[in-house]
Structure 1
Amino acid sequence: MEDKKALKILSDLIGIESANDHETVVADYLADLFKDYPVKITRVQYAEDRDNLVIDMGQQGPLLGFSGHEDVVSAGSLDNWHTPPFAATIKDGNLYGRGASDMKSGLAAMVVAMLDLLESDQELPGRIRLLASVGEETGEYGAAQLTKEGYADDLDGLIIGESSNCDVVVTHKGVIDYYVTSKGVTVHSSTPEKGKNAIMPLIKFAEQAQAKMDSHDQVDPVLGPLTHVISQIQGGSQINSVPDSAWLSGNIRTTPLYPNDQIYQELEEIVAELNQQGAELTIRYSFPEVPLPNQKHTKLAKLAQAVIKEKMNYGGNFVADTGATDASEYIRAKGNFPIIIMGPAPGNVAHEPNEYTPVSNYLDGCKLYQDLAWKFWQEYAK
């Protein structure tokens, strides 16, 4: 494919405002690109205006999964942007726009690779399945749905196109987002003894939860320490009333040394103890994700590293990530297949204003995914 056409696909995707929802427009655009090719196109609706998209190409042979999410984070204040966030702008060799790094460049490069393979004169010895998911930025629930409905069960390997500057991410932390709510009784602030302050038990919870998480001082040699942040706290209606409700949220990044189930139990024990003392606390979790087990010894990771180092003058290192990806859902599939994360864009600008990817990186990624597919088919057919 000509570079101009490949860049148009990425630019078009960035032009779609799929910030935290409205992913169906992305699915529509991608489906239209493949409409004249011998592929199977399946829409998997998560909610209104939120369609996952699955595209299958090839008739036989090893099945390689390509994974990318359709949503992006909010652009935030436009005052912080030098260029319009939802209009791709090329300047000084970089392409700017929301999603240029995370992760429409990876998704577009995978699509370009598939289109080029479909247009090649060679008979394809294997298959590719594109899994384009909704809601990755807010909980990986598109990938969770695709996994639950079996779309990953028969994969022989999966590459997730998150930004990595063409390094091979072989493991990453898990994540637990939790919310604790507190009930009280509101009265006039001049007679607080008649009421029940909903904020005070939350303060005790925050102190005890932070102390407990800080006590987990074993450091994973690859992923580093478990981290915990109390990220939000709200409550009360006005300054001269005892608050009858309050809530807080927290974010924990877990490692295999401290499994998610252990953390759930510890948080719930704090809630139970405070409730015994008279609090009325409840805790819930929002799409928690487990860590990705280290993939560095898998055939797919070694293959990707070899191809990158052969074809490119950068990337190819095995690295870990502190963030979470759709991999945390796909590892729940029935099949026992390796998963790696590898994308052309730099990851250090994801979610930032003036997010970008070098044009050369993106075009390299388009070719690299093709080379990886060919090598994968050859190696996994043995």
Structure 2
Amino acid sequence: MYKIEKDQTTKLLMDLVSIESPYFEEEKIMDFVYKWFQDNNIEAAVHEYHESKVTGFKGKNIIVKIEGKEDGPVICLNGHLDTVKLCNGWTVNPKGEIKDDKLYGVGALDMKSGCAATMIALKAFVENHKDFKGKIISTYVSVEEGPYGMGTNALIEEGYLKDVDFSIITEPSAGFSGNQFPDVCLGARGGYGLEIEFFGVSSHAATPEIGVNAAEAAAKVVGELKNVEYIEDPHLGKGTACVVALESDGGACSVPDYAKVRLFWHIVVGESEKTITDEIEKAIKRANIDCEYKINFREAPSEGSKGFMPYTITGEEPMSKDFIETIEEVCETKPSISYFQSIGDFNYLGSRLGAPAIIFGASGGNFHGSDEYAELDSVVKIAEVVYSFLEKVLCS
């Protein structure tokens, strides 16, 4: 079994964490990763995209293509280099600090750990295998934590991933599921962003009965969203409707004639824009409001990025079985099986490419919060699993 030196993954992870890269601000880390591959004699390309419809953002991804000398499987490795914004409450250095064999820092777990692991795995694979069959496409993307998964969406829509047979996303499966490492996710819930607008009639606050209070109508509907009838999936469980923002203002002394409720609605297989709309209509009917209303799904860059579709795989697909067996061989224990409860680029890869997508990453804690950390031993194991899997399916 091929062993990867822990110092390699730790140093690279520390280097990545030391570079601040909140979404929309990934220029420096993209330059670093591009140069790292060049310095390690691995050809990399900078992929530039422009999301012109909604945000106007011009972003970058790093793409590494390693081709064998014979036809064979096309394996996609995917990870995002952006992070959430720095939050309050940190007690350690958010740009990287090691304590008790854990590396702390913004994005250490989510998901620079996974990116470091695949980078080291690729370095080892290229050094040891000059001749193999198939192709590896490793993608290090931007704006996963931001809107629309724009980096991976651009790669899909521009055809870079059209021939992929199997995707490995090194998001921190154990870190998110709470299961002991190793843990592998065989799917994920999906979701949509949307809003409900309410249109009332203004009046003086001394005579509210003359008006139609849009804020009260919104509040009644929010209350009824607790009674949504969700579809239950045997693996993904049930969806959730989360109110993420409320907006209404009647000024100093007026009945508000407008209100808006903004939602993020997680869904499981079998749910869609239509099922969401139907449940909102039922909630509005139960609330018995007097307001006019309008349901709007958020504007998106493209049809494919309107929502994150849920997906599951069986784990019995040939390469899924190979991957799970590789985890067991490298980690000397069977991985637990779970399903991601939130959304990410894995939804795009799992639902839009027509090929299995598996999520496998580090253990740790506090993702999207203060004192986020990755457990360093798990990062080494991810690299060894990815390397061994590539060897198994491309070199046999």
TMscore range, shorter length: 0.7 to 0.9
Q: Distance in 1 between matches of 2:101 and 2:350?
A: 37
Match of 1:324 among 343, 352, 363: 343
Name the stretch that deviates more: 40-49 or 350-359: 40-49
- What is the DSSP-based 3-state SS (H/G/I as helix, E as strand, rest coil) of the residue aligned with 2:196? strand
Match of 2:86 among 75, 87, 93: 75
Residue in 1 aligned with 2:192? Answer: 176
Q: Where does 1:113-124 land on structure 2 (aligned, <5 Å)?
A: 113-120=121-128, 122-124=130-132
Match of 2:388 among 361, 367, 371: 371
Aligned residues: 371
Q: Show structure 1 runs of 5+ residues with no match.
A: none
Cα displacement (A) at 1:277: 4.8
Q: Distance in 2 between matches of 1:178 and 1:14?
A: 33
Q: Distance in 1 between matches of 2:243 and 2:266?
A: 12
Match of 1:200 among 198, 216, 239: 216
Residue in 1 aligned with 2:269? Answer: 256
Q: Tell me, yes or no, if structure 1 residue 99 matches structure 2 residue 121.
A: no
Q: Where does 1:115-154 land on structure 2 (aligned, <5 Å)?
A: 115-120=123-128, 122-138=130-146, 139-154=148-163
CA separation of 1:163 and 1:314: change in aligned 2, threshold 3 A: farther
Cα displacement (A) at 1:154: 0.6
- What is the DSSP-based 3-state SS (H/G/I as helix, E as strand, rest coil) of the residue aligned with 2:38? coil
Name the stretch that deviates more: 364-373 or 237-246: 237-246
Q: Where does 1:345-360 land on structure 2 (aligned, <5 Å)?
A: 345-346=363-364, 348-360=365-377
Whether the 8 Å CA contact 1:24–1:49 is kept in 2: the answer is no
- What is the DSSP-based 3-state SS (H/G/I as helix, E as strand, rest coil) of the residue aligned with 1:19? coil
Q: Where does 1:191-340 land on structure 2 (aligned, <5 Å)?
A: 191-192=207-208, 195-211=211-227, 213=228, 215-216=229-230, 219-236=232-249, 238-267=251-280, 277-285=290-298, 287-314=306-333, 316-333=335-352, 335-340=353-358
Matched AA of 1:69: H
Whether the 8 Å CA contact 1:295–1:340 is kept in 2: the answer is no
Residue in 1 aligned with 2:97? Answer: 89
Cα displacement (A) at 1:157: 0.9
Name the stretch that deviates more: 3-12 or 128-137: 3-12
Q: Distance in 2 between matches of 1:310 and 1:128?
A: 22
- What is the DSSP-based 3-state SS (H/G/I as helix, E as strand, rest coil) of the residue aligned with 1:95? strand
Whether the 8 Å CA contact 1:42–1:55 is kept in 2: the answer is no
Q: Distance in 2 between matches of 1:147 and 1:274?
A: 41
Cα displacement (A) at 1:320: 1.5
CA separation of 1:315 and 1:351: change in aligned 2, threshold 3 A: farther
Q: Distance in 2 between matches of 1:25 and 1:49?
A: 14
Q: Distance in 1 between matches of 2:50 and 2:281?
A: 30
Q: Distance in 1 between matches of 2:341 and 2:139?
A: 23
Q: Distance in 1 between matches of 2:139 and 2:283?
A: 40
Cα displacement (A) at 1:274: 8.9
Name the stretch that deviates more: 238-247 or 319-328: 238-247
Residue in 1 aligned with 2:171? Answer: 162
RMSD: 2.8
Q: Distance in 2 between matches of 1:132 and 1:275?
A: 49
Matched AA of 1:20: Y
Q: Distance in 2 between matches of 1:163 and 1:315?
A: 17
Q: Distance in 2 between matches of 1:152 and 1:268?
A: 38
Cα displacement (A) at 1:339: 0.9
Matched AA of 1:375: K
Q: What percentage of aligned pairs have identical amino acids?
A: 25
Residue in 2 aligned with 1:190? Answer: 206
Matched AA of 1:26: I
Cα displacement (A) at 1:230: 2.4
CA separation of 1:252 and 1:280: change in aligned 2, threshold 3 A: closer
Whether the 8 Å CA contact 2:310–2:351 is kept in 1: the answer is no
